[in-house]
């Protein structure tokens, strides 16, 4: 089961980042009031990082019990552990170092300091995920896990590249075609650095809610194609779907090529909550 996309359009990149942050805070508070704990999958990239910074800047962020949030990543650049281009390093600077998180619940992908190549780091992450999924089932037998190899992802955040890549799944490449695995090593990404690690599309699509945040006119074509129903191998963003919600949060520049029938979906999305 997967949810049809809804679209929410915002006037500027700054207001978009603030809207993603506000929604994330609200969603995590709701999930924690149901289950005590929550799990979010972070993204790298411009809006992903700006949204994390906006979370810290929002006075409402103190409503979340950050020590009871698990953090995973949708993808990572396979670099040295402290390389500033790593998504995890950027998330730490923007957010994780600034709130009272539990270090045990921060699940970074392995780095070049620990693993010989991206495939070994991908395998390790798949094992970390499977161990966490098992522990989650042991702690709560009612937990809903669409794939027993993965913990329940309450919210999974994605950026989208101008080529419509999501996480490190690039158009027409092996990663986006990978089936039956939860993670994949990418050796030849067209965007630097070439070595990366990613959740597979199947793993992404186990999330309860998938939110794609996109800003800028250079991405309008990718947004338009994805929401017009293009195939996921050519347009990876088209294939990202949450189980109960698929939400595109975009700014006006990224909305320039939106199919006409979707233009008013902000109101619809707002009304169905």
Ligand X SMILES: O=C1O[C@H](COP(=O)(O)O)[C@@H](O)[C@H](O)[C@H]1O
Residues that bind ligand X (CB under 6 A): 43-48, 75, 77, 87, 158-159, 161, 167-168, 191
**Smallest distance from ligand X to CB 268, Å:** 25
Please state the separation of Cα 269 from the chain's center in Å: 19
**Smallest distance from ligand X to CB 135, Å:** 26
**Smallest distance from ligand X to CB 266, Å:** 21
Nearer residue to ligand X within complex by CB, 146 or 162: 162
Cβ density class 222-241: b for 16+ within 10 Å, e for less = bbbbbbeebebeebbbbbbb
Nearer residue to ligand X within complex by CB, 9 or 32: 9
Helices (H), 66-216: 87-94, 118-139, 174-177, 201-204
**Smallest distance from ligand X to CB 193, Å:** 9
Strands lying side by side in the sheet with 69-73: 5-10, 245-251, 209-214, 155-159, 38-42, 69-73
Ramachandran bin of 164, using left for φ above 0, alpha for ψ from -120 to 50, beta for the remaining angles: left
**Smallest distance from ligand X to CB 87, Å:** 5
205 close to 239: Cβ distance less than 8 angstroms: yes
Please state the separation of Cα 7 from the chain's center in Å: 16
């Amino acid at each position: 089961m997967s949810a049809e996309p809804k679209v929410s359009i915002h006037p500027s990149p700054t207001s978009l980042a603030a809207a993603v942050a506000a929604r994330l805070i609200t969603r995590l508070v709701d999930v924690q009031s149901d289950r005590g704990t929550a799990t979010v999958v972070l993204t790298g990239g411009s809006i992903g990082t700006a949204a994390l910074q906006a979370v810290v800047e929002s006075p409402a962020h103190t409503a979340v019990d950050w020590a009871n949030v698990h953090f995973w990543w949708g993808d990572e650049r396979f670099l040295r552990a402290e390389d500033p281009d790593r998504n995890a390093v950027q998330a730490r600077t923007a957010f994780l170092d600034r709130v009272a998180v539990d270090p045990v619940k921060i699940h970074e992908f392995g780095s070049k300091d620990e693993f010989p190549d991206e495939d070994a780091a991908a395998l390790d992450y798949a094992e970390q995920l499977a161990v966490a999924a098992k522990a989650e089932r042991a702690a709560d037998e009612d937990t809903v896990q669409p794939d027993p190899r993965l913990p329940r992802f309450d919210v999974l955040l994605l950026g989208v590249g101008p080529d419509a890549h999501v996480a490190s799944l690039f158009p027409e490449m092996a990663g986006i075609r990978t089936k039956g695995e939860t993670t994949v090593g990418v050796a030849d990404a067209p965007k630097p650095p070439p070595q990366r690690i990613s959740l597979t599309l199947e793993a992404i699509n186990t999330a309860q809610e998938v939110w794609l945040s996109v800003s800028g006119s250079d991405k309008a074509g990718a947004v338009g194609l994805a929401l017009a129903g293009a195939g996921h191998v050519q347009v990876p963003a088209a294939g990202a779907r949450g189980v109960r919600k698929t939400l595109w949060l975009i700014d006006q520049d990224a909305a320039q090529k939106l199919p006409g029938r979707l233009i008013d979906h902000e109101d619809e999305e707002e009304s169905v909550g």
